[in-house]
Amino acid sequence: MSQVRVRFAPSPTGFFHIGSARTALFNWLYARHTGGVFILRIEDTDKERNTEAFLNVIYNSLTWLGLNWDEGPKAGGQFGPYRQSERTSIYREYLEKLKAGGRTYEKDGAVYFKISGEPQVIDDAIRGRVERTEEKDFVIVRSDGSPVFHLVNVVDDITMQITHVIRGEDHLSNTSKHTELFRAFGAPLPVYAHIPLILKQNGPGKMSKRDQGALIEEYEQRGYLPEALVNFLCLLGWSPKDDSEKMPLAEIIRRFDLPGVNQTNARFDEKKLAHMNMVYLLEQPADRFVALARDYLKRKNTFAAGWPEDAYFRDVMLLSQPKVKSIEELPAYTAYFFTEDFAVDPKARDKVMGKGDPKARLRELADALKTADFSSDAALEQAVHAQVAAHGVGLGDYIHPGRLAISGTSVGPSFYGLLRVLGRERVLRRIERLLAT
């Protein structure tokens, strides 16, 4: 069998959204699975609505997701150009074929395609046999001379030798128009595979670019991991048929196939995506996590007053990595590491300072920390434990007021890690400050 050639053909008329990304992903996965070719083609025949900025959104999002294209803009290829706005002579040539065959007529300045009216049957790789009869002639060239989607889509698929058309189910009823054209050109039909749509998570209808969580760029900006998004996305409408969920990309590629794609629309669930992202985040190597955190905090302008020292920043982030579910939690979670002017949670304060004699305990804790070895968590733990033994109190009698004093909250990373990273000076100063109130 000849090599699989699939294409992703977005129109740069809006932002790149989750449905487009999933379509791109399925095409890419199928190409990689079969050792085929993944082609990026830009469908920019509607001059009114296209902008260069939107084009870059497509390139950036695909690149961020890791969906590299073998042929297309920037990549080149022997079937180019890959932007429809640059292929007008090809469309003119194919239009002539239709004219010569007597399959067109002009009305009000637009060129119409004369349908055959025969039932159009496809053997969809996902849906099986689908039959639909096209009932009306349709416009293939606008009165301003520009070719319409249906024409260019088919001509490009023919000339680029596309073997499999993997696209959203919203195109299923367009398919009869397309097969009419393929037949009029005397070209063999590609294999069609209409994948289910992604429905918005609240309310009726398919996900649109205006819906919450729809834009790919947003995930990049929120510090999501592209591999987590890819893993989540591949499970929307496809299943490996066992209980596997988190899978390395190589495994997804190996297992992905068209018969495994569902026929049912899937509702987008941001909670599950967030969970997938957390699982990936937890296992990130230190350098990657720190880089992600740095990019995010930089974007959030967290350190307007000046960027903290690299080593310190790294310590803070790595201390927090096992505790946060997303990069987005980091600014609030780590705020007190970077300023003395942090808020004290009144609820935590009431709870911690309301019973026993916490101030006496804080004094004892401070005494122990004055001479403690701050070079490791274990050494700090040992120092605190020794003080616990010396005064016959509970460990919690030190940890809870201590945490409140140095972080202003009752939640946070490991207490000893907290002490170590903050350092003796800051810790003692903060304890004294609370003692003074």
Partner RNA sequence: GUCCCCAUCGUCUAGCCCGGUUAGGACACCACCCUUUCACGGUGAGAACCGGGGUUCGAAUCCCCGUGGGGACGCCA
**Residues 248-307 contacting RNA, CB under 7 A:** 260, 262-267, 269, 271-272, 274-275, 278-279, 282
Nearer CB in complex with RNA: 127/359? 127
C-alpha span between 39 and 42 (Å, rounded) = 10
Stretch that binds RNA, among 5-13, 71-79, 337-345, 419-427 (CB under 7 A): 5-13
Q: Which stretch binds RNA (CB under 7 A): 56-64, 127-135, 184-192, 212-220?
A: 127-135
Torsion angles phi and psi, residue 356, rounded to 5: 70, -150
Q: Is 340 in the site for RNA (CB under 7 A)?
A: no
C-beta separation of 282 from 320 below 8 A: no
Q: Are 199 and 206 in contact (CB under 8 A)?
A: yes
Q: How far is the CB of 294 from RNA (least distance, A)?
A: 21
Binding RNA by CB under 7 A: which of 74, 78, 89, 144? 144
In whole angstroms, how close is the CB of 161 to RNA at the nearest point? Answer: 19
Residues 199-258 that bind RNA (CB under 7 A): 199, 204-206, 235-237, 239, 241-243, 245
DSSP for residue 49: G
Check 209, 300, 323, 359 and give the catalytic one.
209
Q: Is 43 in the site for RNA (CB under 7 A)?
A: yes
For the segment 154-193, give every residue that binds RNA (CB under 7 A): 169-174
For RNA, the binding residue among 298, 325, 347, 370 (CB under 7 A) is 325
Distance CA 362, CA 398 (A): 7
Q: Which string of x and - marks every residue 51-90 that binds RNA (by CB under 7 A)?
A: ----------------------------------------
Residues 394-413 that bind RNA (CB under 7 A): 394-397, 399-400, 403, 410-413
Task: Provide, rounded to whole angstroms, the least separation between the CB of residue 206 and RNA.
Answer: 4
For RNA, give the closer residue by CB, 35 or 354: 354
Size of the residue set binding RNA (CB under 7 A): 81
d(CA 125, CA 167): 11
* Residues 42, 83 contacting (CB under 8 angstroms): yes
108 binds RNA (CB under 7 A): yes
DSSP per-residue string spanning 354-399: TSS-HHHHHHHHHHHHHHS-TT-HHHHHHHHHHHHHHHT--HHHHH
Give the residue with the Cβ less far from RNA, 142 or 363. Answer: 142
Give the Cβ contact number of residue 121 at 10 Å: 13
Of the candidates 29, 63, 58, the one whose C-alpha atom is nearest the C-alpha of residue 226 is: 63
In which residue are the tokens 């302008």 written?
A: 301
**Does the CA dihedral 293-296-302-307 come out positive or negative?**
positive
Does residue 344 bind RNA (CB under 7 A)? no
- 307 or 395: CB nearest RNA: 395
Q: Identify which of 320, 312, 300, 318 has the alpha carbon closest to the alpha carbon of residue 338.
A: 312
The residue range among 72-80, 337-345, 393-401, 423-431 that interacts with RNA, by the rule CB under 7 A, is 393-401
Q: How far apart are CA 245 and CA 247, in angstroms?
A: 6
Binding range to RNA, per CB under 7 A, among 30-38, 64-72, 130-138, 295-303: 130-138
CA distances from 64 to 15, 21, 61, 221, 257 (A): 15, 11, 5, 11, 23
Ranges within 353-392 binding RNA (CB under 7 A): 388
Whole-number CA gyration radius for the chain: 30
Residue 245 CB, shortest distance to RNA, in Å, is: 5
Q: Which is nearer to RNA, 35 or 404 (CB)?
A: 404
Q: Which stretch binds RNA (CB under 7 A): 145-153, 180-188, 213-221, 304-312?
A: 145-153
- Judged by CB under 7 A, the stretch of 68-76, 139-147, 286-294, 336-344 that binds RNA is 139-147
Q: What are phi and psi of 17, to 5 degrees?
A: -115, 175
Q: Which is nearer to RNA, 285 or 306 (CB)?
A: 285
The contacts found for 318-325 with CB under 8 angstroms, 24 or more apart, are 318/286, 318/289, 318/290, 319/413, 319/414, 319/417, 319/418, 319/421, 320/413, 321/281, 321/282, 321/284, 321/286, 321/289, 322/282, 322/413, 323/412, 323/413, 324/281, 325/274, 325/277, 325/278, 325/281
Q: In whole angstroms, what is the distance from residue 130 CA to residue 192 CA?
A: 10
Judged by beta carbon, residue 298 or residue 343, the one nearer RNA is 343
Q: Is 209 a catalytic residue?
A: yes
Q: Which two tokens stand for residue 8?
A: 């992703």
> For RNA, which is the closer residue by CB, 36 or 237?
237
Catalytic machinery residues: 209
